[in-house]
Chains A and B, each alone.
Chain A
């Protein structure tokens, strides 16, 4: 009996903790969103609590209404879906109201997400017939690629065989076909919502017009407080750690390098709380009292004007840059202008405008919209020097005066004592 008691004493707490880690789930009507966030499309999950949805104004987003199992995950303090347990579409039309007015009653339509630069790149939303066409085109390109790859493998095997028999460099090596980078998701059905800024409510209604229980949500459609052209600034010494300049007041300071690389982008300023809730309706960290800048689409098509004494009104275009490892076993890299306009899958680099940093003084940059400078696109780049010895010295001058005053007082009081 005693032999059994010890393992039981060890096993019971473990069993209890295992039971505690199994969260309770409930069946809920939830919303899955592909919401435009200013940069691209984010996948957003919205459980029944909190009953609020957030979208960006004047851009299409897609809403899907599902019934699934939802459980609370204490580690993130959020409700998460268990799509594996249940993933059912809820039938009906989406009714959008503003106050008591019904603004839209939407039917589901097909949509796909397009990833032009591959699965990890930015996403684009394509809806309706164009979505089906985009997916078909992707399938066609994929099957063409697979055929070309098959042929390449056969030719490559033959080439290897000939090379083995006749020796190397007897004929050129066959070229491997380029894999299509563009990825298109499988077509799905959803409600495409595109609204101006404001507060709305929405609910799913059945064919006979009754509201489906648990489908009502408050919808906040937000818009930017300010817009402009921002810059991502790439330090040549750490090209993977870019800095951002969102407003014209922010000056770009450089110390070491002779040039910097800048990537212009459309930027928008949102209320921090609303924007965080757009990305995650369960967010509990953002504050309504703060504002946040969000970088969006890159603007590489426009010429850039370099002004000031160092720029002399020159106009430069964007180029593709390649990051090359230095030869040998030493760590390090160099950034060189690429001979091609796009990067190969094995290559590392970026597209940017290279701006020279003057040895002293400053240079101004601005994007050109036709003959005019694009609004809020001007920036200043300055070289800074660290000459703080003289400044600390000047800060100590009042201390010297104070010492002088103390000495004078003591001298005077000594003279008066002697007198």
Chain B
């Protein structure tokens, strides 16, 4: 039986079960606490700087706290989602589940739905704390804070979907975590190397270094197109530049990435099977 959004009763049941499992686990609360503490710390250090001089000039004092809290929560959701299917595969419950009238799509959609709800709760918590922080300290909370919160939600959901894809692909929990860590390190290294080399004037680079720089810039740009982190950064930069069309493009890229991850997860689950 199909419910709204093309979801079956099985998908809803899986989603509800997954959501209950996440919300009754202590880990999301620990990560949320760390993310909130970091956001408050960044805001606190802005005010410390203002206090030191008696004056300060800031365009978007709430953007960095949102970005840093988002990165922590995104990492948590990707890690958590990357173990969700593999854990069931290892325990053998996945095989049992597929004896019932549940399809691959039901399983993936149910888990994505649960993770989107968790992402919404986390994004709402960060936004609420920052709004409260703005009220308490007097820091300007701009009208585009809800847009930043939406960008955060899109990023967290996309990270969860990426984790789910790895979970569908990997045989074991450890493999999924290692692959996720590898991807994060690779993206970060590419980004740092490309940023450093792009900042150097061309005259300072010799022939092979110039080639390496151009190659890295192309690879980094290509990786950026597929990276949820890059979409999140684009969205926040677009908000700072007050460029609504760039914001919508970044949001669209985030949602597209989410859709691709979900589609690939269903496919990977079909191909990989239910046994480790």
Chain A residues in the interface with B (C-beta under 8 A): 50, 233, 235-238, 241, 243-245, 247, 249-257, 260, 273, 283-287, 289-290, 360-362, 380, 382-388, 390-392, 394-399, 401-403, 405-406
Bits for B198-213, please: 1 = Cβ < 8 Å to A, else 0.
1111011000000000
Flag whether B11 is at the interface (Cβ < 8 A): no
Provide the bound-state CA to CA distance between A244 and B55, in Å.
Answer: 11
Q: Count chain A CB atoms within 10 A of each CB in B132, B137, B138, B199 and give the residue with the most.
A: B138
Flag whether B109 is at the interface (Cβ < 8 A): no
Determine which of A50, A254, A399 lies in contact with B55 in the assembled complex, contact meaning CB atoms within 8 Å.
A254
Bits for B128-148, please: 1 = Cβ < 8 Å to A, else 0.
010011001111101000000
A394 touching B129 in the complex, CB below 8 Å, given contacts A249-B240, A286-B201, A386-B51: yes
Apart from A237-B54, A252-B56, what are 17 other A-B pairs with CB-CB below 8 Å? A243-B57, A254-B54, A255-B51, A284-B204, A287-B200, A289-B199, A362-B140, A384-B138, A384-B139, A385-B138, A386-B51, A390-B136, A397-B33, A398-B125, A401-B26, A402-B29, A405-B29
Chain B residues within 8 Å of A392, by CB: 37, 40
Chain A residues within 8 Å of B225, by CB: none
Q: Is the CB of B139 within 8 A of A253?
A: yes
Q: Could you jot down 20 A-B contacts, CB within 8 Å? A: A235-B54, A244-B57, A250-B57, A250-B59, A251-B58, A253-B58, A253-B139, A254-B54, A256-B51, A285-B201, A289-B198, A362-B140, A382-B138, A387-B137, A391-B132, A394-B129, A396-B37, A398-B29, A399-B29, A399-B33
Considering the complex, give the chain B residue whose CB is closest to the CB of A403.
Answer: B26
Determine which of A251, A284, A289 lies in contact with B140 in the assembled complex, contact meaning CB atoms within 8 Å.
A251
Q: Is the CB of A256 within 8 A of B138?
A: no
Determine which of A235, A247, A289, A405 lies in contact with B25 in the assembled complex, contact meaning CB atoms within 8 Å.
A405
Q: Count chain A CB atoms within 10 A of each CB in B58, B60, B204 and give the residue with the most.
A: B58
Provide the bound-state CA to CA distance between A245 and B60, in Å.
Answer: 12
A391 touching B33 in the complex, CB below 8 Å, given contacts A253-B139, A255-B54: no
Flag whether B50 is at the interface (Cβ < 8 A): yes
Considering the complex, give the chain A residue whose CB is closest to the CB of B40.
Answer: A391
Bits for B156-190, please: 1 = Cβ < 8 Å to A, else 0.
00000000000000000000000000000000000
Provide the bound-state CA to CA distance between A249 and B47, in Å.
Answer: 18
Determine which of A243, A250, A290, A384 lies in contact with B47 in the assembled complex, contact meaning CB atoms within 8 Å.
A384
Chain B residues within 8 Å of A284, by CB: 201, 203-204
Flag whether B243 is at the interface (Cβ < 8 A): no
Chain B residues in the interface with A (C-beta under 8 A): 24-30, 32-33, 36-37, 39-40, 43-44, 47-48, 50-51, 53-61, 125, 129, 132-133, 136-140, 142, 198-201, 203-204, 240, 242
A-B contact count (CB 8 A): 144
Chain A residues within 8 Å of B30, by CB: 398-399, 402
- Looking at the assembled complex, report how far the CB atom of A21 sits from the nearest CB atom of chain B, in whole angstroms: 24
Chain A residues within 8 Å of B136, by CB: 385, 387, 390-391
Considering the complex, give the chain B residue whose CB is closest to the CB of A383.
Answer: B138
A382 touching B32 in the complex, CB below 8 Å, given contacts A285-B201, A394-B132: no
* The 8 residue pairs across chains A and B that have the minimum distance between CB atoms: A395-B36, A402-B26, A402-B29, A398-B29, A399-B33, A235-B55, A398-B33, A249-B59
